[in-house]
Structure 1
Amino acid sequence: MIAAWAQLLRVSAVLTVPGDAFAGTVAGGRAPGRGTLLAAGSSLCLYEAGMALNDWADRETDAVERPDRPLPSGRIAPASALAAAGLLTGAGLAVAARAGRPALATATALAGAVWAYDLHLKNTRWGPLTMGTARALNIGLGAAASIPGAASGPGGGRTGDVLRTAALMGAHTVAVTTVSREEVQGGSPLPPLTGLAAVAGITGATARRSPAAAAAYAVTAARPLFHAALNPSPPLLQKAVGGGIRAMIPLQSALSGKSPAAVALLGLLPLARRLSRKVSPT
């Protein structure tokens, strides 16, 4: 049962979530503090809610394409997955509320994006953009927890920095999500090629903040995308998606610049690699 829930909740991808809150806090001009931890906790709950809701919404399709997943295989009841999605969403909003009204408002928008994506927008042309928006809102949640009146105390007013940081994370997420739409059946080399272009642009935009983290991001994301572009088969596209998900960790580190949090975030990458060998992040 534990293994089934670990698969449903994509525990190997969980480590890619907290760094958004830290990057957002740094972009907002604050050192990470209590508000950042609350934002990270809220993001984790909402991310896992999205994973459970995703499999509930896809249970009929997965019965054909991925029968080994927990719901079609019968290891977890659909009602349990839906209940988990609801409870985790509520928990995420409750934790965000502890960080102040701005954080709660941002978390509410994030929850709306998650549910809209899973229940309707995933298979439309708006799917990748919605997922990118959700990740950008994760960055915003970290920043919202550090503005005046939030739990972490008085904050900075660096709105432009927050928006740029959110846009870079959102752009990466859009590229990875676009590739993921073909990971079951295989497809064209265009999505991974577009992903490579996005990675190159994001690397250039973050290189001055943290050269080492930007390089780690480029290698983690670009190598599997390059292989998938040469051969856009399901196995290589799945590896490209997995690499793109893990690459969010060094990207968060790069976006955090010279903050002490940047080094700690980069240290999560080896653990994420090990976890992905046990539980697929996709």
Structure 2
Amino acid sequence: MNTSKVFAHLQLTRPANVVTAIADIIAGFAIAGMGVYLTSFSNESGHLIDLAWLVLSTIGLYAGGVAFNDVFDADIDAVERPERPIPSGRASIRSASTMAFLLLVLGVLAAAMVSMTSAIIAFAVALCAVLYDYWGKHQHFFGPINMGLCRTGNLLLGVSVVPELISEYAFIGLIPLVFVAAITMISRGEVHGKNRKALFGGLLMYITIVAGILLLAYSFGGKLIEVIPFVVLFVYMVFPPLVKAIQKQDPKLIGKAVKAAVISLIIVNASLSAAFAGWLYGLMVLILLPISLWLARKFAVT
């Protein structure tokens, strides 16, 4: 396989987005009360090794899931986005499918190295991803929820480092679910525009996310002050491009709003991390933001 084809297959995995998935795992690790091991770089009880396995798992799950998205969209992309790897001929459907499948298998096997609970969650995320790629994204109501469930599962995959805490903190998965559902709704206007209702709906859901994060910070550990700077950054990142998209209804502006929101998943995770493990841990998660932004200049986000 030549360099061009390798790059094309790497494009299929959306590297900038994969970094946001890693942030999900690190945030889940904090929610499980394991943040101290990362901030002190202590591998006592092997928790940092577990974190590494879960990071590898989410890389496989996310990269495999988005690669399958291009496989199932090959015919549509041939018309609307012919520059993408498959319709441009730089990657074949067969090679892309094989890579995507192997990545999903890697995701499940890596999670199994932590616990059976982690493996089950990883398998569920893989199923949700393929379901969305093949069917969910064509459903007006269930599609955004389907996509949100992938992120919810990913956050809980991080929490699964302590399996018995899954049931206690499962409700926190509503935050990525609502946020990703909002992004998915908004993204439907990237090609043709004119989706004002979806944009307004996304705006209301973003406001709900901000309120939910602040409530969590106040309720768990009293770290509201530590979380506020992260929330302010989130508002700065996602609200201005979305307001411009609402005003102009232009597909390019909608695309920018979607891109900003996808990258801001890292800020959501940094906020959740700060709420449970303090500002320093949140800052460690936020370090992933410039990495994702750099990759977003090299590879497509949507």
How many residue pairs get aligned? The number is: 273
Cα distance in 2 for residues equivalent to 1:233 and 1:80:
35
The counterpart of 1:129, out of the listed 145, 158, 176, is: 145
Sequence identity of aligned pairs in percent? 30
The Cα shift of 1:7 comes to 2.1
- Which residue does 2:233 correspond to in 1? 216
Higher helix fraction (1 or 2): 2
- Which residue does 1:200 correspond to in 2? 207
| Match runs of 1:220-259 below 5 Å | 220-257=237-274, 258-259=277-278
The Cα shift of 1:113 comes to 0.3
- Which residue does 1:97 correspond to in 2? 112
Residues 158 and 77 of structure 1: is their aligned pair in 2 closer, same or farther, counting only changes over 3 Å? closer
Per-residue CA distance 1:233-271 (angstroms, 9 max, x = gap): 210111111011011001000001234431111122123
Pair 1:46 & 2:61 matched: yes
Cα distance in 2 for residues equivalent to 1:172 and 1:114:
16
Cα distance in 1 for residues equivalent to 2:15 and 2:239:
23
The counterpart of 1:173, out of the listed 174, 180, 197, is: 180
The Cα shift of 1:158 comes to 7.0
Give the partner amino acid of 1:279.
F
Decide which moves more: 203-212 or 59-68.
203-212
- Which residue does 1:270 correspond to in 2? 290
- Which residue does 1:154 correspond to in 2? none
Decide which moves more: 35-44 or 174-183.
35-44
- Which residue does 1:82 correspond to in 2? 97
Per-residue CA distance 1:36-93 (angstroms, 9 max, x = gap): 2222211111100011100000000000000000000000011000001110011111
- Which residue does 2:14 correspond to in 1? 10
Decide which moves more: 72-81 or 29-38.
29-38
Residues 230 and 25 of structure 1: is their aligned pair in 2 closer, same or farther, counting only changes over 3 Å? same
Pair 1:146 & 2:162 matched: yes
Contact kept in structure 1, 2:160 and 2:166, CA below 8 Å: no
The Cα shift of 1:104 comes to 0.4
Contact kept in structure 2, 1:20 and 1:40, CA below 8 Å: no
Give the partner amino acid of 2:127.
G
TM-score, normalised via structure 2 length: 0.86
- Which residue does 2:219 correspond to in 1? none
Pair 1:34 & 2:49 matched: yes
Cα distance in 2 for residues equivalent to 1:163 and 1:214:
22
Aligned with 1:29: secondary structure?
Answer: coil
Contact kept in structure 2, 1:189 and 1:231, CA below 8 Å: no
- Which residue does 1:186 correspond to in 2? 193
> Which runs of 5 or more residues in structure 2 are unaligned?
39-47, 215-223
Contact kept in structure 1, 2:108 and 2:119, CA below 8 Å: yes
The Cα shift of 1:176 comes to 0.2
RMSD across aligned positions (CA): 1.6
Give the partner amino acid of 1:28.
A
Cα distance in 1 for residues equivalent to 2:33 and 2:166:
6
Aligned with 1:210: secondary structure?
Answer: helix
Give the partner amino acid of 2:189.
E
Aligned with 1:256: secondary structure?
Answer: helix
Contact kept in structure 1, 2:32 and 2:161, CA below 8 Å: no
The Cα shift of 1:214 comes to 1.2
